[in-house]
C-alpha cells in the first residue's frame, strides 16, 4: 500500500461525555488525534463531522461499534452508534459528499488506547483528555487493516 493514495480516514469514538476524533494521512501510514467533540445533539454533532470531513478531505469515516465484549452481540450503545452512523451517512450524501461511513468493531480499543498512553509515558493527569482521540486513532488502524468493506457494515477486526 505504501505510496498509493487511499484517502483520508476520520476515526470517531462515540461517547456520552466526549467523542474522540482522529484523522489519517492520505496514504494511511499515520494518524493524528484531533480535539474531542463534546456531544450536544445528534443533528449538531453530525453537522460538525460533515464540516470536518469537508475541511480534512476525508474519504472514509470509521465509527466505533461497541459490541458486547465476549459474545459480540449488539448492545444499546451499538444501536446508538449505528443510528449515528446512518445519520452521518445521510447528511454526507445530502451535502454531495462521496465520503463513506463504516462501523468498526471497537472491542478492546479503549483498553489498547490506555495502554499506549501509559507506554508513551504521558503523565497520568493528561491521559484522560487524550484517551478518546487515541481510541479514534485505533479505529482508523482497524479500518485500514481490514481493507475496503461495504459502507455501513461492521468491520469485524478485533483487538
33-77 residue pLDDT tens: 999 999 999 999 999 999 999 999 999 999 999 988 788 788 888
Does position 26 have pLDDT exceeding 80, yes or no? yes
Distance CA 133, CA 64 (A): 12
Report how far apart the first and last C-alpha atoms of the chain are (Å, whole number).
Answer: 22
Q: With cut-offs at 50, 70 and 90, classify the pLDDT of residue 5.
A: low
Q: Give residue limits of the domains in the chain.
A: 10-155
Q: Alpha carbon 72 to chain centroid distance?
A: 18
Q: Where is average pLDDT lowest: 37-41, 79-83, 112-116, 155-159?
A: 155-159
pLDDT of residue 151: 46
Q: If DSSP states are collapsed to H, E and C, what string results for the chain? A: CCCCCCCEEEEEECCCCCEEEEEECCCCCCEEEEEEECCCCHHHHHHHHHHHHHHCCEEEEEEEECCCCCCCCCCHHHHHHHHHHHHHHHHHHHCCCCCEEEEEECCCHHHHHHHHHHHCCCCHHHHHHHHHHHHHHHHHHHHHHHCCCCCCCEECCCC
Q: With cut-offs at 50, 70 and 90, classify the pLDDT of residue 85.
A: very high
Residue for grid cell 509515558: 121
Over residues 128-138, the pLDDT tens digits come to: 778 889 899 99
Distance CA 139, CA 103 (A): 9
pLDDT above 70 as % of the chain? 89
Asked whether 64 and 109 are in contact (CB, 8 A), the reply is: yes
- Predicted TM-score (pTM) of the model is 0.85
* Top CATH class, 10-155: alpha beta
Amino acid at each position: 500500500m505504501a505510496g498509493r493514495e487511499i484517502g483520508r480516514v476520520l476515526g470517531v469514538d462515540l461517547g456520552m461525555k466526549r467523542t474522540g476524533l482522529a484523522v489519517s494521512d492520505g496514504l494511511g501510514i499515520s494518524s493524528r488525534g484531533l480535539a474531542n467533540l463534546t456531544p450536544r445533539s445528534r443533528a449538531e454533532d453530525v453537522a460538525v463531522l460533515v464540516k470536518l470531513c469537508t475541511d480534512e478531505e476525508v474519504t472514509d469515516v470509521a465509527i466505533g461499534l461497541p459490541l458486547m465484549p465476549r459474545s459480540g452481540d449488539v448492545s444499546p450503545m451499538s444501536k446508538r452508534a449505528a443510528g449515528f452512523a446512518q445519520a452521518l451517512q445521510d447528511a454526507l450524501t445530502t451535502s454531495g459528499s462521496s465520503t463513506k461511513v463504516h462501523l468498526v468493531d471497537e472491542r478492546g480499543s479503549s483498553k489498547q488506547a490506555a495502554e499506549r498512553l501509559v507506554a508513551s509515558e504521558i503523565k497520568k493527569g493528561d491521559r484522560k483528555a487524550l484517551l478518546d482521540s487515541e481510541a479514534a486513532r485505533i479505529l482508523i488502524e482497524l479500518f485500514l487493516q481490514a481493507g475496503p468493506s461495504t459502507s455501513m457494515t461492521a468491520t469485524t477486526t478485533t483487538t
